[in-house]
Structure 1
Amino acid sequence: MNSFKAGCCKHSLRMVSSFTGSRQVPTEWLRRVTEDQSEPPRLYAWRLTNLADGANYARKSLEVGEEIPNSDDERHRIYILGVGNIGRLYASFLAKNNPRPPITLVVHRRELLDQWNARPGIELVRDDGRIERNPAFRIEWWTDAQPAHGPVREPGSGCGISNLIIATKAPDAIPQVDRARRYLGGGSTVAFAQNGMCKLWPPLGEAYVAARFGKGGGPRWLACVTTHGVTSLEPFRSVHASPADVRVGSVMVRGGDGWDGNGNGNGNDGDKDQDDYLAEQIVGAPGLAARRVATRELWVAQLEKLVVNAVINPLTAVLRCKNGEVFEERGDGLGDVVEMLVEEASRTLRALVGHRSSEGILRAQDDAVIGAAGEKSLERTREELLERFSSVRLRTMLYSVGEKVAANTSSMLQDVQAGKKTEIEDFNGWLVETARYLGDEGLPVNEKLISLVEDGAVRTRGELVKELRDSRG
């Protein structure tokens, strides 16, 4: 079990300052973490037996496939925090592994426990019309309120959490990890499975981990780039609209002693650890089509997917249209807007590649190359990525993806239609925030698009084109 370590806060702020020089601009989320010296909260894991009618549930538990508590193996149990589209997808396919790992779904409100109690099971409607329903999961709600009925438990059943998949919306990912940190430690593996960039990439990831777990400590951190298209029908029920794949890998470049203090790995690439149980379970899940990738490849994949999300999601949210309509040429200038968004993204990603904080990622797969040869390898890698993140290459990639997901409804449009908070700050907002961190004068088209989505604006294609063009002055 880990708790906040005194003194880490000041160390982390100094670390951020070393990366930014005279422009100390730590992001708001990091500032909140590093200034918070409170003890991690104690949580209680409510299960169905903690509901008022828990006794009724206990009598029928074997009928719905609940694991018998005394057969638990917490070292192999996989907790999936967030049971939206991505959480349902991962749970459904992980449950097909042979042998099947014990899986616990973690919901975010009490009402979902009641709904599961009434009709247990995750239902996934496949692209060929087949309906797959699986009730064989444990389900928990983590809260600071102690239950009045049934056994009193904490997350991990007192053993800590060994395997955790964060499948919440992007804005909730770090806050949820932070909330559960009492139950995470060096024996834990945490995988982020949401859209957007994982916030633990260098340089700011190191500052977060140092603040909460101590320098070089904490769980093993993974990220999953998921390209499957999934649409929600109702709680615990989704349509697997577009089967695709998953790439999973280590977020941080770590050696035996962690980071070297400059945002660079000091030896071995952490993703070479093939004994990672959670990654193996994800890669082995039938139908998930997941593969293990190196840290640098994962970073590039997340950046490219971010560009796709930062174009398709907000445009479809404002235009209230299917993905494919964004790329239809109607002579109204929307194609020029796409070009402007791609150009701003390209400028930001190319600046990030050139920034010293990215050197650890660029060197991640070449740690055996040292001296002058190492510097040449670094520059060669940097040149390759500068070309890959050119506006021409990004545009080609975007249109290719857009063709594949043309018939889908974007996750952001689904959120808008459901009256939910969108992930705009973790898509376009990440680009704007990163550009400012790197000293860019600003991304006016992205900034205007953020404001439109946050205001719940609805525009015709012509109206949107005019507003975004005008945003450039």
Structure 2
Amino acid sequence: MREPQSDTPRIHVLGVGNLGRLFAHALANSPNPPPISLLLHRSSLLEEWEQAGRKITITTNGVVNSIGQFDVEEITSASAPSTPVSNLVLATKTINTLSALRSISHRLNSNSTVLFAQNGMGTIDETDSQVFTNNSTRPNYLTCITSHGVFDTGPFSSVHAGQASISIGRSLQRPPPTSPSTAQYLIDKVLEALILAAKEYPSEELLFLQLEKLVINAIINPLTAILSCRNGELLDKGPIVKVMRLLLQETAQVIQLLPEISSSDDPSVADRFSTQKLEVKVLDVAEKTSKNTSSMLQDVRAGRQTEIEYINGWIVKKGREQGVECEHNAKLVEMVKGAKKIGIDELRDLFAGPGGTFGVADAIVDVVKP
């Protein structure tokens, strides 16, 4: 591997869980790797870094690749540097976004670029209202959708089990950023990192892709969490598929009312977010990942806080803003937050209407496995 040039802009990675490790590892393995700094938000991570031999280890198809070409900063330390951060990959969980950005907000400015490498929706709005409130000094925002599968095997060690792709682009910022041109460097570096298999998209299309990913997560993640099952098991019972349809009906209505969707002159945009089109996508992903355990179920089993507020919670919030009460999504939010575990019969009782029916969702059962 070639050594990075000293005048190459540095990329900082904040959030060194599985996704942050994958980004750092991929960037370091690119043909012209930039200097990379790992930002550690607690002292115990520095101990784990030493324990890991000051390397990130990623195993792919049984092949182990360890790289140590990283600088490390403990941002909670009194001696932490205050030099500007030009390019930041934010790979924390959505629930930690605000605290993570506040810890280095004094090092970010209008010439900085922040890549939100996270699930869910709503963190950028919160960041604007609670961290970077002044548009003249607000960083450039990038967002991405990651379909790679990565799981933890120890301190700074992960397995890249599901090799897939990343969709990346500029976020729709309103008002527009003051220095938009500075964002292209980070986009290009992510595109050059072949392990990530990234593709750049225009802002509007990237938003549409984000919404489709949100819908998939909003159906599969919470249902597997409360039923304590693998993704494919959602397709095995009629009542589960009917509940999925109730959630999709609410979610499709909310999305179609979003200004970015409702203002489009292209009729295919609204059709893209119809209940039927979204259902096809959800069922396809559930089938393709049938043996997987969702990240939300993993969090529930580990007693960790989930990202439900930025998935189904976002749908409920946007629905209320538009006068749509999303009672089924709201019910899921409370159940996941309460770590509730139920069976098929209880699911039917909780979501079926009077007489034990599911309304329109009862009309179509052809996708249910025999």
Query: Based on CA coordinates, which of the two structures has the bigger radius of gyration?
Result: 1
Q: 1:180 to 1:173 in 2, by over 3 A?
A: same
Q: Which residue does the alignment assign to 1:447?
A: 330
Deviation at 1:124, TM superposition (A): 1.8
> Which residue identity lines up with residue 445 of structure 1 in the other structure?
H
Percent of counterpart pairs with the same letter?
Answer: 36
Q: 1:198 to 1:129 in 2, by over 3 A?
A: farther
User: Pick from 282, 285, 290: which aligns with 2:198?
Assistant: 290
Cα deviation per residue 1:219-274 (whole Å; 9 max; x = unaligned)? Answer: 111001111122223332222221111111111257xxx44xxxxx9xx995xx49
Distance, in Å, in 1 between the alignment partners of 2:100 and 2:164 is: 27
Q: 1:86 to 1:234 in 2, by over 3 A?
A: same
Q: 1:216 to 1:437 in 2, by over 3 A?
A: farther
User: Pick from 142, 145, 149: which aligns with 1:229?
Assistant: 149
Aligned pair count reads: 354
Cα deviation per residue 1:308-341 (whole Å; 9 max; x = unaligned)? Answer: 111111111112221111122x34x111011111
1:246 aligns with 2:166: yes
Q: Gaps (5+ residues) in structure 2?
A: 360-370
Deviation at 1:285, TM superposition (A): 0.4
Deviation at 1:281, TM superposition (A): 0.6
User: Pick from 181, 197, 208: which aligns with 2:129?
Assistant: 208
Q: Give yes or no for contact 2:110–2:136 (8 Å, CA) kept in 1.
A: no
1:380 aligns with 2:265: yes
Q: Which residue does the alignment assign to 1:412?
A: 296
Deviation at 1:78, TM superposition (A): 0.9
Distance, in Å, in 2 between the alignment partners of 1:182 and 1:338 is: 44
Q: Give yes or no for contact 2:152–2:159 (8 Å, CA) kept in 1.
A: yes
User: Pick from 180, 198, 205: which aligns with 2:104?
Assistant: 180
Distance, in Å, in 2 between the alignment partners of 1:416 and 1:206 is: 26
Q: Which residue does the alignment assign to 2:350?
A: 467
* TM-score, scaled relative to structure 2: 0.87
Deviation at 1:401, TM superposition (A): 1.9
> Which residue identity lines up with residue 116 of structure 1 in the other structure?
W
Deviation at 1:470, TM superposition (A): 5.5
1:341 aligns with 2:265: no
User: Pick from 426, 433, 440: which aligns with 2:310?
Assistant: 426
Distance, in Å, in 1 between the alignment partners of 2:68 and 2:291 is: 30
1:90 aligns with 2:90: no
> Which residue identity lines up with residue 338 of structure 1 in the other structure?
M
> Which residue identity lines up with residue 162 of structure 1 in the other structure?
S
Distance, in Å, in 2 between the alignment partners of 1:117 and 1:72 is: 25
Distance, in Å, in 1 between the alignment partners of 2:206 and 2:303 is: 32
Map of 1:242-281 to 2, 5 A cutoff?
A: 242-253=162-173, 258-259=175-176, 273=181, 276-281=184-189
* TM-score, scaled relative to structure 1: 0.69
Q: Give yes or no for contact 1:192–1:198 (8 Å, CA) kept in 2.
A: no
Q: Which residue does the alignment assign to 2:80?
A: 153
1:124 aligns with 2:49: no
Distance, in Å, in 2 between the alignment partners of 1:231 and 1:468 is: 33
Q: Give yes or no for contact 2:75–2:103 (8 Å, CA) kept in 1.
A: no
Q: Gaps (5+ residues) in structure 1?
A: 1-64, 147-151, 260-264, 363-377
> Which residue identity lines up with residue 129 of structure 2 in the other structure?
Y
Q: 1:239 to 1:465 in 2, by over 3 A?
A: farther
Q: Give yes or no for contact 1:81–1:166 (8 Å, CA) kept in 2.
A: yes
> Which residue identity lines up with residue 98 of structure 1 in the other structure?
P
